[in-house]
Structure 1
Amino acid sequence: MTAFRQAVGAPAGELAERYARVRAASLSLAAPLSAEDCQVQSMPDASPVKWHLAHVTWFFETFVLERFERGFAPFDPAFRVLFNSYYQAVGEQSARAQRGLILRPTLEQVRAYRAQVDARMAGLLQARGEEPEIASLVTLGLHHEQQHQELLLTDIKHALSTDPAHAPYARRWPIARVQPASLRWFGFEGGLVEHGHDASLDGPFCFDNETPRHRSHLGPFELASRPVSHGDWLGFMDDGGYRRPELWLSLGWDWVRAGGRTAPLYWQQRDGRWFSHTLQGLVEIDPYTPACHLSYFEADAYARWAGARLPTEVEWELAARSLDSRAGHFADRAVFHPLPASQDAAAGPVQIFGDVWEWTGSAYLPYPRFRPWPGAVGEYNGKFMCNQFVLRGGSCATPAGHVRASYRNFFPPEAQWQFSGVRLARDT
């Protein structure tokens, strides 16, 4: 587990405090929801909130307590199968598409499960939290839970979108308007560049798929100053973007026709005006905010329509590292960051962290000399390196402190329900 063991340097007390803070954040995200809300599963790719709350707890019980707790006994032996996601080395899993049919345990029983595991974890961290292997696994578990916090929001958003009244997740969820900004281009010389996780730049923790740091050669390129906005996307639609097969990959055009798609996910037109389902219900499209819930197919088609392309993940990382990382993406934030008062004064691309995950043109593949973590946790990333594309940058739903330039998210090209958008690139 050397890929993230170096992440552990804090005293056990600090790790225990972080454990409590991250675990409390999950319950806070679920607080606005009813038991019925937490049970629903709106599609096979999404999971019920109740399942998310239980699965992240299962992670700590299975990978930490089962291994290191003296006299270990599971909270409920049945949970080992019910809340296992895809870890074949651990044993069987319940069918992903049927997680919404797990009626027992109830939400209250899941909360009791969390409370009991948290109490046991507190005791273990107090007694042995400075041991490197325990600290490493707990650190991984906390980042895993933060991933599921984002999934909790994306999944409940999809579920609530199926409600005829477009029920909001929470009225308090902020949506900040941004200032109008023309799209500009920033040039990068390329050359031989290093990329991948660097603890001095990205912080001590990383997932195994961010390693090892290595070199790649880039030609000169330009990156757009901001993500594609809703207003930009309306231009694509008005120009027949969803009706022109020459703009689409073959699989993408099949996807458009099979789904009868004419607009991004969550969009609907009423009296000639476009609206979108958001976490605070149905709202009118803001033309200046980043377009999101786009598939790779849509991102690629838009880039072709715009006479540009998607950046590679190496290009994206080089550009991200060229920026001042104090842009506020680790602080509490609104859904979309406001642009600088004068974009002309910006030193480089803006809104690159924490607004929308940005599709790249890079297939999700291992870095040279990549090795997954040993043991069952080695199933975390490496085995999914097939038929998926890399996204970078984090989204408005990514927890604060969970974003870094080396982070590699990945989804299949048809995925839309994540907060995914597009930033253009082009050759110089």
Structure 2
Amino acid sequence: MGGWDAVVMEEGVGRTLIPPHGEASSGPLSLAERYARQRRATLDLCDGLSAEDMSAQSMPQTSPTKWHLAHTTWFFEQFVLGVRVSADDWARLFNSYYEQVGRPFARDRRGLLTRPSLAEVLAYRARVDDLVLALLDRDLEPERASHVELGIQHEQQHQELLLTDLKHLFAQSPLEPVFRFPPSSGAPAPASLSNGLRLRFLPGTSGPIDIGHEGPGFAFDNEQPRHPAMVARHRIANRPVTNAEYRTFILDGGYRRPELWLSDGWAEVRRAGWDRPLYWSSELDTEFTLHGRVSIDPHAPVCHVSYYEADAFARWAGARLLTEQEWESDADPGDIASGHWRESGVFHPTAAIRDVGVRQMFGDVWEWTSSAYSAYPRFRPAVGAVGEYNGKFMCGQYVLRGGSCASPESHIRSTYRNFFYPADRWQFMGIRLGVDG
């Protein structure tokens, strides 16, 4: 037994206090139970990985799996425990961007951190888990309890990042390693058996509406405060853009026609040599996935496209991207439970199978909107270093909505605002069209 399996079998390394993920519960989970479950879920994603798999970094935007394990632990150490558990110099290594608590180590150099070792990072996680769970055995003041909740949500974000970063890493290898085989009960149907839904545009909600989160339940500060907005008459596509539709765009010269592209997007096409979505073969017939290389399902949502590509496709199709206000007004929170999420074990988008109303707004792929990531009216970031979590990134990025096949189901809301730079495409990013009227 070697690699990851040898490490996790050591006594007290991240396993003894954490109940099995998905264990049945007789009622709502306590904060301690939710903490334990999400910390275990992160480790579960690492099953089968070697120490080498978990130490490499494939591009500046990604992070090694080992770093994700350490950074999420540092978050609880820094903002919940408030005492130093790790070696003093670890704080700089695993601080992502919180300048108020120290100078972070350069993001693009995280793959050079061979020390501390994976075993040391896992022992660090176990020690912090012991201390946080002991803390949760007693009543906490509201501010500290809110930081535990924020840390749990932060952990879930990094579970998705862990998967997408690992996918990008594995795609660099000529061996194209399989991260995990899908469960037989949840595997995507072969492309020849998928039932494609005809693209239709359905009336969207219009008029004066309220946008953003309010009331009970967790939400990030960038989802607040709830505020009025005016949404013009529009129609929304009944499903995301499919691989077949995107292939037609490619074959029609979509990547060779500057009139379809924003200026910065066309410059990126030429600079990076884009001519297809990330992970597609040059023959446009297969794509690399966390389940290995597979035939492209023509009816599944296209993914791993940038904002620039989404915008160009929409212009080619005679449509546009939705605004985030339109997206939120048209989304039914009741559909979250029927979405395709990480818990399925199928880490790739699948084709819609029911032609009823607007489908797949939750799960499968994050959907680019045309809205720049900026503050809502009367937005105020949290006081202190945790206020750096979202607010300082409100410049130069675009909002995505809905979650993906790599998102934990319990993490997503209809008000959730994800955000990335317009050239980014290593996340499970897709396209939903809208039209005026």
- Residue 286 of structure 2 is matched in structure 1 by 275
Residues 1:307 and 2:318 aligned together: yes
Equivalence map 1:146-295=2 (5 Å): 146-172=156-182, 175-177=187-189, 178-199=194-215, 204-269=217-282, 272=283, 274-295=285-306
Q: Note the C-alpha offset of 1:331.
A: 8.4
Q: What is the aligned partner in structure 1 of residue 50 from structure 2? A: 34
1:22 and 2:38 correspond: yes
C-alpha contact 2:239 2:358 (8 A) present in aligned 1? yes
Give 1:309's aligned amino acid. Answer: R
Q: Distance in 2 between matches of 1:39 and 1:267?
A: 26
Q: Match for 1:233: what amino acid?
A: Y
Tell me if 1:319 matches 2:335: no
Match of 1:414 among 396, 414, 423: 423
- The one-letter amino acid of 1:242's match is Y
| Equivalent position to 2:143, from 125, 133, 141 | 133
Residue 110 (structure 1) aligns with: 121
State yes or no: 1:371 paired with 2:384: no
Q: In the alignment, residue 79 of structure 1 is paired with which amino acid?
A: W
Report the TM-score when normalising by structure 2: 0.89
In the TM superposition, residue 31 of structure 1 has moved relative to its aligned partner by: 1.3
Deviation of 1:301 after TM superposition, in Å, equals 0.1
Pair 1:81-2:92 in alignment: yes
Tell me the CA shift for residue 284 of structure 1: 1.3
Structure 2 unaligned regions, length at least 5: 1-26
Give the drift of 1:210: 0.1
How many Å separate the matches in 1 of 2:176 and 2:340? 29
Q: Which amino acid in the other structure matches residue 63 of structure 1?
A: F
- Mapped to 1, the partners of 2:28 and 2:332 lie a distance apart of 31
Asked whether the 8 Å contact 2:337–2:409 carries over to 1, the reply is no
Q: Does the CA contact (< 8 Å) of 1:273 and 1:284 recur in 2?
A: no
> One-letter code of the match for 1:249?
L
Distance 1:318 1:222 in 2: 12
Structure 1 residue matching 2:138: 3-state secondary structure: helix
Aligned residue pairs total 403
Which position in structure 2 is the counterpart of 1:351? 360
| Deviating more after overlay: 55-64 vs 178-187 | 178-187
Residue 239 of structure 1, CA deviation: 0.4
Unaligned runs of 5+ in 1: 1-10, 67-71
% identical equivalent positions: 53
SS in 1 for 2:395: coil
Residue by residue over 1:171-223, the C-alpha shift from the partner in whole angstroms, topping out at 9 and shown as x without a partner, is 23664235211101111251111010133xxx600000000000111110000
Aligned-partner residue type, residue 107 of structure 2:
R
Distance change in 2, residues 1:325/1:118 (3 Å)? closer
Q: Give RMSD over aligned pairs.
A: 1.8
- Could you say if the C-alpha distance between residues 273 and 250 of structure 1 is closer, same or farther in structure 2, counting changes exceeding 3 Å? closer
CA contact (8 A) 1:293 1:416 kept: yes
CA distance in 2, matches of 1:372, 1:110: 31
